[in-house]
Amino acid sequence: MLRDVNRLHEMEVFVAIVEAGSFSEAARRLDMSPSAVSKLTSRLEARLGTRLVNRSTRSIELTAEGERFHRESRCILEQMTALEDGLLHEMPRPTGDVRVNMNLPFGLQCVLDLLPGFLACYPGIRLSVDLTDQVVDLVEHHADVAIRIGPMRDSGLLQRKIMETYFVTVAAPSYLESHGTPETVNELEEHNCLTFAFRRQTPEWKFRDETGQPRTFAPKGNILLGDGESMRRLTLAGTGIAQLSLFQVQEDLAAGKLVPVLKRFAAREPQTVHAVFMGPNRYMPQRVRVFVDYLAANLRDDRHATKK
C-alpha cells in the first residue's frame, strides 16, 4: 500500500544515483548494496508506471520523466533539509564569493550570457570566473566548482550532470573549396587537421565506419592550439578541419560559416557536461549550490543540448 512506501527515501536514492552517475557509486555513498539500489529504482519505476533511467554497464541516461522526477525530488529534499535546519522561515539569501573554473568555449558560448540573470537573482553573490581549457586542481586554484566536459576520471570529486553535447567535424567553405572535401575518414590524412597543444583524455577523433562500428583517427596538422576558441576561429578562417563540440559551432553551422564534414561517419556519442565540486553534496555551501542549480535549470533544455 502507498502508506508503506518511504517516498522520501526513494527520492534520496534516485537523486544520489543521478548525481553519482552510476548505481554502484550511489550505493557506496549511501552505504547500501548496488542490488538494493537497483531494486529500489525498479520498484519506484513500477509504482510510477514509467521508466526513469536507461541503464548501461558504464553509465545512466535519464528519460524525460526521470529528468522531471530528479528535479522535483531535489527541490523537495532541499525543502526538507531547510525545515530540519530551522531555516524554512525567512531563509537568508546566499552571499559570498563563488569561484568558478570552466572550459573557455563552453563559458563563452553557454554560460556568460546566463550570469547577469543569476546575479540579478542573487545580488549578494560575487562570481570569480576563470575560463581555461586546462584542467585545474580545485584545491590548488581555490575553485568552488568547475565545469568539465567528457568522461570523468575517478578523482574523488562529486559531480552533477548539467547537459549533453556532441562532437562535430567541421571546416570552412573556403578551406574545402581550396583543398577538397574528404569523403572517407582515411582521406583526412591528406588534410590539415587542427589539434590541441595540451594532453587530452581522448586525443583521437571519434567516428563510425561503414558498418557502424566505432573507429578513431589521430589528427595531424601544422598548428597546435591551447584552447578551443582559438581552434574555432582558425577553422572559420579556412586554416583546416577541426572536431569541436556542437555548442561551440552550432551558430556557425546555422549561418553557413562552417559546414559539417564526414557527417555520415559521425560517432554521435554524447559528451556529458558536469559540474564538479568537493565535499558531501548535502553540505555544499548554499552560494555554490544555487549557482550549480541555476546552470542545471537553464542548460538542461538549452538549444545547445541537442539530442540525438
pLDDT of residue 302: 35
Q: pLDDT higher for 196 or 188? A: 188
Share of the chain above pLDDT 70, in %: 84
pLDDT at 12 over 80: yes
Q: How confident is the model at residue 127 (pLDDT cuts 50, 70, 90)?
A: very high
- One-letter amino acid of 165: T
pLDDT at 252 over 90: yes
Q: pLDDT higher for 243 or 267? A: 243
Query: Can you list the pairs that 235-239 forms with residues at least 24 positions away whose Cβ atoms lie under 8 Å?
Result: 235/170, 235/171, 235/172, 235/175, 235/194, 236/172, 237/172, 238/171, 238/172, 238/174, 238/175, 238/178, 239/175, 239/192, 239/194
Separation in Å, CA 307 to CA 69, 152, 165, 221: 19, 21, 8, 31
Cell of 165: 553535447
Separation CA 289–CA 235 (nearest Å): 37
Express each pLDDT in 198-225 by its tens digit: 665 557 898 988 888 888 899 999 999 8
Share of the chain above pLDDT 90, in %: 30
pLDDT at 301 over 50: no
Separation CA 179–CA 192 (nearest Å): 9
Separation CA 299–CA 63 (nearest Å): 16
Query: Is the Cβ–Cβ distance between 281 and 157 less than 8 Å?
Result: no
DSSP state of 51: -
pLDDT at 83 over 70: no
Domains of the chain: 2-89 (1.10.10.10), 92-158+272-308 (3.40.190.10), 167-265 (3.40.190.10)
pLDDT at 305 over 80: no
pLDDT at 2 over 50: no
Q: pLDDT higher for 282 or 246? A: 246
Query: Is the Cβ–Cβ distance between 149 and 135 less than 8 Å?
Result: no
Q: pTM for the complete prediction?
A: 0.65
Separation in Å, CA 155 to CA 54, 159, 276, 277, 278: 25, 10, 10, 11, 10
